[in-house]
Amino acid sequence: MLEKIWASHAILARPDGATLLHVDRHFVHDGSANAFRKLKEKGLSVRRPENTFATPDHYVPTTSRDAATQEPHRRQMVVDLDANARESGVAQFGLSDRRQGIVHVIGPEQALTQPGMLIVCGDSHTATHGALGALAFGIGASEVAHVLATQALWQTKPKTLRITVDGTLAPGVHAKDVILAIIATIGAAGATGHAIEYAGSTLRQMSTEGRLTVCNMSIEAGARAGMVAPDDATFAYLHGKPYAPKGPDWDKALAYWRSLVTDAEARFDREVALDAAGIAPMVTWGTSPESAAAITGRVPDPAQAPDAARREAIERALAYMDLKPGTALTDIAIDRVFLGSCTNSRIEDLRVAAKIVDGRKAVVPAMVVPGSGLVKAQAEAEGLDAVFKAAGFEWREAGCSMCVGMNGDLVGPGERCASTSNRNFVGRQGKGARTHLVSPAMAAAAAVTGKLTDVRTLMRP
Amino acid sequence: MMEPFRTLEAVAAPIATANVDTDQIIPARFLWRKRSDGWGDLLFHDLRFSDDGSPKPDFVLNQPAFRDARILVAERNFGCGSSREAAVWALYDYGIRAVIAPSFGDIFFNSSFQNGLLPVVLPAERVAALRTMLKQTPGTRLSVDLAAQTVSGPHGRDSFTIAPFRKECLLAGTDDITYTLAHRDAIVAFEQAYAATLPWL
């Protein structure tokens, strides 16, 4: 599949392997100001505004839809994106638009993301879009400027890694647990230089939204991209969405999309296999997504580490996280819960969490930040907001929010947060903040018990 | 803003931690700055400074022998995480011109070349030996020769590989927008053929 998409987008190939690739979709967000500045400094304009889509997400307030409520530096980022989009003729899902949301949520939601596309965005979680069979990866600001100026990007073909997960996930085990288990298996640099194709019966049975969660965290294993071959579930997901092909175009697109699927005899540079039956609800205990373990486990003992470097790394992580070796993960008390981010803020995530929360009370501060205005509206139509509010959760407006804290939604110093986001780095959710990455179901369980909890103990028939 | 990279002879500082993510290199709360504001004062901010703003004496770049370092010798997966190019800007504006490590975060690696920062990949055991040497003899200078693709110092000489396109751009001090725009005709021709094949796009 990678080969097919690569070949169909190659404009020029240098003898040394560097290839100029056509970009079908370029998503820009409110962290793009420096890229637009670079474009202007060079006296250039956006070459193909019709291939470019903008939405503010990193810096937007989640307590209201009025950017004026934001601290000035943050507000300016939203204002700059708005001005740059207007000047460039780029379509924007602005703050007052119901379609606004996290760029990696709204791309698939609007069917701006389609199989076979090459998609880039100045954000490392762009691999999310690969769940629909696109080749999608994150780029830096200079590359954003390059794509704005040329609608193309120089790349060297990544190596290929197929990760096959077979079998049925147990109740209470979700897509987030699958990707955390994968990262724990191969490591945070386990897929460096590779594009991952996720395959196997578990992925085939998984919903499109679940696949989006899996592909989203490909970068946390070091991969440039992550993708799933499109199938009938993908096509059903896209059909009728605003930017999906219509009428005769749909049939043409469908025939093309079906042709993208990886040939049975395709060879990959590497192969990794996991058994779905062996995956339990996961939680991270350290400061890299690779430090993930089954909730039934314990905080590791650095003394058991295979080498000195690994021992020191565990010691440093445990010191930051204020955890003692051997502690049962279910004995770790938490201070707050964040349910949101481009990893886990879609409607299925909110449904799963609401089912656990229903009829219970959050015993720590907890907030839900839907991934888009449309996800929020859908949840409200289903009454999920009422479930969360009745349990004491805050029900916020769409944005990246507490995943990275750039909008001011921060975890306090020393506070411990069970979070459905994607990074547990030192200081990621705020200076001194301690993050435990979990699935939406596990976040809900933590909210109603005040500690990391095996959600399977709270599930009702 | 970008200087050509040819040779560099400078103090090298060891950073032995694996997975140094871009949140460590430049915390998210500073990212609203303009490129032209300068970012060197923010490099490794929370590792480098205490809450009261005073330098943390144990951080490597605060130690007298390493204060003038222009080369970092790091561990696996340096620059992983967020795509923020400000991580490269902070290193560059501080004065760092080369980072040597067994592996890099993919986006950080690509962004480095766009800004005149050379990421050098060497085998893990060679990088570990370099860090040991720098720890034992603080202030040791290393030489990086891009044309020859070598890192040399008291330890001897290591050769590294680099994509020829990246090497050309660094040696010339150019980013690739100008280079690409010279191929405008090829881009236009591609786009026309592509639109004919996939008309719904």
Confidence of residue B176 (pLDDT cuts 50, 70, 90): confident
Domain that holds residue B53: 7-173
Q: Model confidence over A136-183: pLDDT tens digits? A: 999 999 999 999 999 999 999 999 999 999 999 999 999 999 999 999
Instruction: Say if residues A124 and A219 touch (Cβ distance below 8 Å).
Output: yes
Identify the pLDDT of residue A461: 77
User: A405 to chain B: which residues are within 8 Å by CB?
Assistant: 28-29
Scanning the structure block, which residue is given the tokens 């994150």?
Answer: A138
Inside any domain, residue B139: yes
Mean pLDDT of A416-423: 98
CB contact under 8 A, A224 and B165: no
SS3 A103: helix
What one-letter code names the amino acid at A263?
D
**Nearest residue to A445 via CA among A391, A390, A403:** A391
- In the predicted structure, residue B91 carries a pLDDT above the cut 60: yes
Mean pLDDT of A119-127: 98
- Residues facing residue A417 across a β-bridge: A336, A435
Instruction: Say if residues A421 and A429 touch (Cβ distance below 8 Å).
Output: yes
What does the alpha-carbon distance between residue A134 and residue A120 come to, in Å, rounded to a whole number?
A: 10
Of B32, B105, B106, the CB nearest to A77: B32
CB contact under 8 A, B199 and A14: no
- In the predicted structure, residue B128 carries a pLDDT above the cut 60: yes
ipTM score of the complex? 0.96
- In the predicted structure, residue B102 carries a pLDDT above the cut 70: yes
Domain count within chain B: 1
Closest-approach residue (CA) in chain A for B82 = A124
* Interface list for B 118-147 with A (CB within 8 A): none
Instruction: Say if residues A23 and A5 touch (Cβ distance below 8 Å).
Output: no
Mutual angle of helices A208-216 and A175-186, in 10-degree steps:
30
Inside any domain, residue B194: no
CB contact under 8 A, A12 and B186: yes
Q: How many helices (H) and strands (E) does chain A have?
A: 15, 19
What pTM did the predictor assign? 0.97
What does the alpha-carbon distance between residue B103 and residue B83 come to, in Å, rounded to a whole number?
A: 16
Inside any domain, residue B188: no
Identify the pLDDT of residue A285: 98
Q: Model confidence over B133-142: pLDDT tens digits? A: 999 999 999 9
Mean pLDDT of A69-86: 96
- Residue ranges with strand state E in B40-188: 71-73, 98-101, 118-121, 141-145, 150-153, 156-159
CB of A242 within 8 Å of a chain B CB? The answer is no
- Residues facing residue B78 across a β-bridge: B104
Most B CBs within 10 A among A103, A143, A435, A437, hence the mutation to make, goes to: A143
User: B48 to chain A: which residues are within 8 Å by CB?
Assistant: none
Inside any domain, residue B27: yes
- The C-alpha of A139 sits at a distance from chain B's nearest C-alpha, in angstroms, of 6
- Residue ranges with strand state E in A276-318: 282-284, 292-294
Confidence of residue B1 (pLDDT cuts 50, 70, 90): low
SS3 A138: strand
Q: Which two three-digit tokens encode residue A220?
A: 């946390």
Instruction: Say if residues B3 and B116 touch (Cβ distance below 8 Å).
Output: yes
User: A23 to chain B: which residues are within 8 Å by CB?
Assistant: none
User: B18 to chain A: which residues are within 8 Å by CB?
Assistant: 189, 309, 313
Q: How many CB pairs under 8 A join A and B?
A: 172
CB contact under 8 A, A146 and B198: no
What does the alpha-carbon distance between residue A214 and residue A249 come to, in Å, rounded to a whole number?
A: 29
Local structure of residue A328 (DSSP, 8 states): B
Inside any domain, residue B200: no
Half-sphere exposure of residue A408: CA atoms within 13 angstroms, side-chain side: 14
Inside any domain, residue B121: yes
Local structure of residue A457 (DSSP, 8 states): G
Inside any domain, residue B201: no
Q: How far is CA A407 from CA A72, A92, A270, A401, B176, in A?
A: 11, 19, 39, 6, 32
Q: Which two three-digit tokens encode residue A252?
A: 């043409």
Closest-approach residue (CA) in chain B for A74 = B32
CB of B182 within 8 Å of a chain A CB? The answer is no
Q: Model confidence over A23-52: pLDDT tens digits? A: 999 999 999 999 999 999 999 999 999 999
**Domains observed in chain A:** 2-270 (3.30.499.10), 297-457 (3.30.499.10)
Q: Write the CATH number for B57.
A: 3.20.19.10
* Interface list for A 328-387 with B (CB within 8 A): none
SS3 B11: strand
CB contact under 8 A, A406 and B19: no
User: A24 to chain B: which residues are within 8 Å by CB?
Assistant: 201
CB of A434 within 8 Å of a chain B CB? The answer is no
What does the alpha-carbon distance between residue A457 and residue B81 come to, in Å, rounded to a whole number?
A: 33
Instruction: Say if residues A189 and B76 touch (Cβ distance below 8 Å).
Output: yes
CB of A139 within 8 Å of a chain B CB? The answer is yes
Mutual angle of helices A347-357 and A373-381, in 10-degree steps:
40
Inside any domain, residue B104: yes
Mean pLDDT of A189-211: 97
Mean pLDDT of A324-351: 98
